[in-house]
Amino acid sequence: MERQWVLKGEGERVLKLEVKSAGEGKPAEIVRPVLTVQEVCRRLKKSRRQVYRYLKAGRLRACARILGQWLFPQGEVERFLQSKVPLSLKPYFWDVQLSNLSIDHHRDFILGRLLEDGDRQALQWVFRTYARNLILGFLRRRGTELLSKKSWHFWSSQLGEKPKIHLKESWRSQGRRWGGVG
């Protein structure tokens, strides 16, 4: 089966990739708007080296490699841009750089901070960003470790989960045993 790759200019920097495969029956055709590595670097405001690191780690997915040049679907780059935490939530993440936080990779960390200390705006963002089943999964897996008992019971009951007795002691209450603050 032969494949023919055709790149066509669509706009100023957006290209269309057409893949025509000649086989049995009529030829299949896939048309995608794609971006070159240079354009991805410009849109993400990252270096070429960083984009290649994202590619190697699987955070960005390329659709083709033509003449040694990686091509990325435009939708994939937009998804990557939306997978960042907004600047309005910076007060909750005072100890980390927001640009390094990924909504997918650091989900437990983000949910732990915002469900424990978040205001109305932060919680609205949480429930717009994460599906209910992901939040419930967090409460079952790591909620007892990262949330106080009061917050864990509150969110479990609010999301329709029957709160169970804590099996793991939270790191927050460990200081209380020894007369520490907490």
Which residue, chain included where needed, has tokens 């200081």? 175
Average pLDDT over residues 15-37: 69
Band of residue 105 on the pLDDT scale cut at 50, 70, 90: confident
Sequence length of the chain is: 182
The boundaries of the domain holding residue 105 are 87-174
Average pLDDT over residues 10-38: 68
Task: Kindly state whether residues 159 and 96 are assigned to the same domain.
Answer: yes
Task: Kindly state whether residues 165 and 92 are assigned to the same domain.
Answer: yes
Domain membership of residue 182 (yes or no) is no
CA distance 89 to 120: 11
Give the pLDDT of residue 34.
83
Give the pLDDT of residue 75.
84
Domain membership of residue 180 (yes or no) is no
Average pLDDT over residues 55-81: 83
Domain membership of residue 169 (yes or no) is yes
- pTM, full prediction: 0.58
Task: Kindly state whether residues 59 and 130 are assigned to the same domain.
Answer: no
Band of residue 65 on the pLDDT scale cut at 50, 70, 90: confident
Q: Which residue did the predictor score with more confidence, 180 or 89? A: 89
Distances (CA, A) of 115 to 30, 81, 98, 140: 43, 24, 18, 14
CA distance 180 to 174: 8
Domain membership of residue 117 (yes or no) is yes
Task: Kindly state whether residues 38 and 6 are assigned to the same domain.
Answer: yes
